[in-house]
Structure 1
Amino acid sequence: MTEDTTTPLPRLIIVSGQPGSGKTTLAHRVAREIGCPAVIRDEIKEGMVHAHGPGFQPAESDPLTMRTYPLFFECLQLLLAAGVAVVAEAAFQHRLWHTGLGPLMDLGELRIVRCHTQEHTMMARRRIRMSSEPTRAAHADAATLTPEPEWTPLHLDRPTLDVDTTDGYRPGLEAITAFCQA
């Protein structure tokens, strides 16, 4: 009888949603619960802006944003290739992100968590974080103060869980982490 010595693929948990949908908070919570790193696209850009120094002016598709996208996927690829499970968080709108995720599908077992909330809650969260989080100066947040009618959630042929973050989590955190680990 031969023993199966194949190493299982690490889990890649994608947490997505519109700005203000609660995805960053949930991504950090899930990563803590299951014991793996969280790679947050906005935090990578914030680190670039910090290294850039004063005077950076954010804009949609500014040079640092454009450098952030490939770096985000390179970080994920490096971790997955090393056998590390990871939570990846970004505003994964399907048309913008599915091509970057394609090469990662052979490196990790993908689970998608899509965050959503009521529009007025999302807009309120966006305004609050603009005024209370200094690191948000790295982002062109003023452009996100209106609803995005063209938003298309990430949809791939992988297990997907929709989470309402309006007041806590529905389903609850225990069910979310169970889905991520299944």
Structure 2
Amino acid sequence: MLLAAGVTLVAEAAYQDQLWRTGLEPLTKIADLRIIRCTTPTPTIIERMTERADSDRHRAAHGDRQLLTDIAVGTSSPEEFVDISLDAPTLLVDTSDGYQPGTAEIGAFIRAH
């Protein structure tokens, strides 16, 4: 609805291909879609998930505790994540320590036509 009305927006999620591609694909007809894929090493992912689970009660809805347990016992792994596969410009951003590339480059990527 917002895109059809010409509104510029940012949609943030862990866009796993199997869950999101079919829902987002139709939007490529009405949106100048850009994908920013944030990455960091697995130990950093686990550290951040643990910190959020310990400090943010709203994260309970995301099942972080169970996912951390699954990772610890080897039944799940962040490496199993499958990136969204849409035909859209994509920028890979390493978030290990700040943003690489930086915010100026990310902004330029977003504004590029």
Shorter chain as denominator, the TM-score bin is: 0.7 to 0.9
Following the alignment from structure 2 to structure 1, what is the Cα–Cα distance between the partners of residues 49 and 40? 12
CA contact (8 A) 2:42 2:78 kept: no
Match of 1:154 in 2: 84
Of Structure 1 and Structure 2, the greater strand share is in 1
- Deviation of 1:164 after TM superposition, in Å, equals 0.2
Match of 1:138 in 2: 61
- Deviation of 1:157 after TM superposition, in Å, equals 1.4
- SS of 2:3's equivalent in the other structure is helix
> Which structure 2 residue ranges, 5 or more long, are not aligned?
72-76
The RMSD of aligned alpha carbons is 1.1
Q: Does 1:173 align with 2:96?
A: no
Find runs of 4+ consecutive structure 1 residues off by over 6 angstroms: none
CA contact (8 A) 2:25 2:86 kept: no
**TM-score when normalising by structure 2:** 0.87
> Which structure 1 residue ranges, 5 or more long, are not aligned?
1-77
- Deviation of 1:82 after TM superposition, in Å, equals 1.1
- SS of 2:91's equivalent in the other structure is strand
**TM-score when normalising by structure 1:** 0.55
Q: How many residues align?
A: 105
Following the alignment from structure 2 to structure 1, what is the Cα–Cα distance between the partners of residues 44 and 62? 20
CA contact (8 A) 2:3 2:30 kept: yes
Give runs of aligned pairs for residues 41-120 of structure 1, distance below 5 A: 78-120=1-43
